[in-house]
Amino acid sequence: MQNTSNYVKGYAPKGKTPTVPVETKHIRVNMIAAITNCGKLRFHFYKGKMNQFLFKAFLKKLVKSTDKKVYVISDNLSAHHGLLLREWADNNAEKIKLHYLPSYAPELNPVEYLNNNLKYETARKGFSKSKNEIQKKAQSVMRSLKSTKNRIVSFFENEYVKYAKKRE
């Protein structure tokens, strides 16, 4: 999430140019999220850059949160591929399986539909001037989404992610 989102639309009376306030200082809040085709959502805000340690810690929490095997569909971020992560996944193969999407194919990642919804809904909450304000708004949206399983399930309806849709 960042304060320079282009999801906001401006309005002005006829003949006037619409203006949207923008902060000159770029403010970013980082988040990792996982969704299931049954409507569950897990997310975590973090500081700094994504790395193997953060990704592994998030995956460990996912594994702990269920008694079923976890299948992770991940993009090709370098932090998702490291030796540390691969060894851990191999040692926990009965609990977790990692699947990687092709490079430059965000439309195949169900979480990208969540991210798009998050950015849109956060922008609707108004302009943010601080990291804390952005994170509070994003957390509010994520908590709201977490309680609406049908909305999460709907992210799997897109033609590009139907491969991951729950089988009836």
Judge whether 16 lies within some domain: no
67, with CB counted inside 10 A (0-12, 13-18, 19+), is exposed
CB 27 within 8 A of CB 128: yes
pLDDT digits (tens, 9 = 90+) for 130-149: 889 999 999 999 999 999 99
Judge whether 71 lies within some domain: no
Residue 53's CB is within 10 A of a number of other CB atoms, namely 12
Q: pTM of the full predicted structure?
A: 0.84
The domain total for the chain is 1
What was the pLDDT predicted at 22? Answer: 64
Judge whether 6 lies within some domain: no
User: 3-state DSSP call for residue 138?
Assistant: helix
Judge whether 146 lies within some domain: yes
pLDDT digits (tens, 9 = 90+) for 35-44: 999 999 999 9
Nearest partner of 59 among 29, 30, 99, judged by Cα: 99
Return the CA Rg of the chain.
18
- Domain range holding 137? 30-66+105-164
